[in-house]
Amino acid sequence: MFSLQQLLRATATSNGGNDLSRLLRHIGGVTSGATTTLCTAPATKHSSQAKFGDNSSHGSPSHTDGRSHGESESDLESAHGQNFTAHHFARRILQQRSQDIQRHIHTQSAKGQTRAKSSQQNQQQQQTATKFAMSSLAAEPLQSQKPDEITASTGGNVETPALGASCHEVASASASAGKKPCFSSGLGEILQFMELIGNLKHTKRTGWVLRDVNDCESISGHMYRMSMLTFLLDGSEGLNQIRCMELALVHDLAESLVGDITPFCGISKDDKRAMEFKAMEDICKLIEPRGKRIMELFEEYEHGQTAESKFVKDLDRLDMVMQAFEYEKRDNCLLKHQEFFDSTEGKFNHPFVKKLVNEIYEQRDVLAKAKGATPPPAIEVPSMERSSKLVNGHDGSS
């Protein structure tokens, strides 16, 4: 191999030697007396290896193979004899150096972009982020503090939980920072809450049980279809679809403790209401502070003053008449469950729900006429106010 100093001497004797000499000095950063080697060992990543003569190969060894400095100069003269001019060699060195520079620029640019992206992500993570301790309809956003705010409030001894941290990690950090944890109740209470919700999966709706309907629906099945019906809202009605879904999921939750109370159960309307509110208080205490949200939804539905609560009440009645129609078709007893249609007649308010109810009536009438079905005798539904007097030993007469 040849040092840059040797090439400089060689180019001085060739055409344009002065220009090439200056070029090589500029490329290699050579000063007077420098001996920078252009070619390195084959393992070097970005080096270019010169090829001289017929015996040279891509992986030829460096001048450390034992050849003297004089032999290198002799080889250079031989290279001149084989028409490999220093001008040609310098051009190849320049091309290789240009490629090295381009690779270096590209690598530095990529590293710069990576560092900038990483810095931007760190800044976003340090900003205030909204966390949800768990996915549930009762979940309310848990606002995390900025790192400097937490440090200031705790004397710099609390680490900020990372995004996506578990409920317990967030709770521990929040408690140290003076914030409320995810739940004030223990895991045992949460499991008890889950068990109560599970009761709704297996508790049959009382109305169907009293009419000896086989394989009748559960309370949770009733609430689930109501919740799915909220997807029919497209926003043009001015109703909050998510809130309607929440109301549908919560409205019969108390029945996990008190059961499905109907007018045939001999319990007054006021007593039923008191029992259900007490049950809801007990249920919501199990998942405090998140239970407060569920209680608010239950109260909204019971009061029936908001547009969303009125719509969900329509869905409650719609699901009942649809279920009655389904049982009549399944059990081949058309018009048998007329009482469920009678108890809801004239009580629907939302225009779209009314259309759905009318469609059920029309299909039911067509099937009944085709099969020659006739409605059974009307069933008197007890008044829940009168039921209260009967329970207290009075017959309601004055």
Predicted confidence (pLDDT) at residue 23 exceeds the cutoff of 90: no
Q: What is the pLDDT of residue 378?
A: 84
End-to-end CA distance of the chain, in Å?
A: 125
Q: What is the pLDDT of residue 382?
A: 83
Q: Lowest-pLDDT range, 69-78, 161-170, 185-194, 363-372?
A: 161-170
Q: What is the pLDDT of residue 160?
A: 42
Interval 320-332 mean pLDDT: 97
pLDDT in tens, 44-67: 444 444 444 444 444 444 444 444
Q: What is the pLDDT of residue 325?
A: 98
Predicted confidence (pLDDT) at residue 10 exceeds the cutoff of 60: no
pLDDT interval class at 357 (50, 70, 90): very high
Identify which has the larger pLDDT, 164 or 291.
291
Average pLDDT, the chain: 72
Copy the structure tokens of residue 255.
Answer: 């029945």
CA 398 to CA 376: how far, in whole Å?
33
CA 2 to CA 22: how far, in whole Å?
17
Q: Lowest-pLDDT range, 168-172, 282-286, 339-343, 354-358?
A: 168-172
Predicted confidence (pLDDT) at residue 139 exceeds the cutoff of 80: no
Predicted confidence (pLDDT) at residue 237 exceeds the cutoff of 50: yes
Q: Lowest-pLDDT range, 152-161, 178-187, 204-213, 367-376?
A: 152-161
Q: Lowest-pLDDT range, 142-151, 227-236, 282-291, 381-390?
A: 142-151
Identify which has the larger pLDDT, 392 or 23.
23
Predicted confidence (pLDDT) at residue 136 exceeds the cutoff of 50: no
Among 91-95, 158-162, 256-260, the range with the most confident prediction by mean pLDDT is 256-260
* Nearest alpha-carbon partner for 317 in 229, 191, 397, 382: 229
Q: What is the pLDDT of residue 244?
A: 97
CATH class of residue range 185-371: mainly alpha
Q: What is the pLDDT of residue 60?
A: 43
Domain boundaries, the chain: 185-371
- pTM equals 0.55
| Distances in whole angstroms, Cα of residue 177 to Cα of each of 157, 162, 169, 180 | 9, 15, 12, 9
CA 321 to CA 361: how far, in whole Å?
9
pLDDT interval class at 384 (50, 70, 90): confident
CB contact at 8 A, 110 and 118: no
Q: What is the pLDDT of residue 381?
A: 80
pLDDT interval class at 380 (50, 70, 90): confident
Q: What is the pLDDT of residue 48?
A: 41
CA 87 to CA 142: how far, in whole Å?
72
Predicted confidence (pLDDT) at residue 389 exceeds the cutoff of 50: no
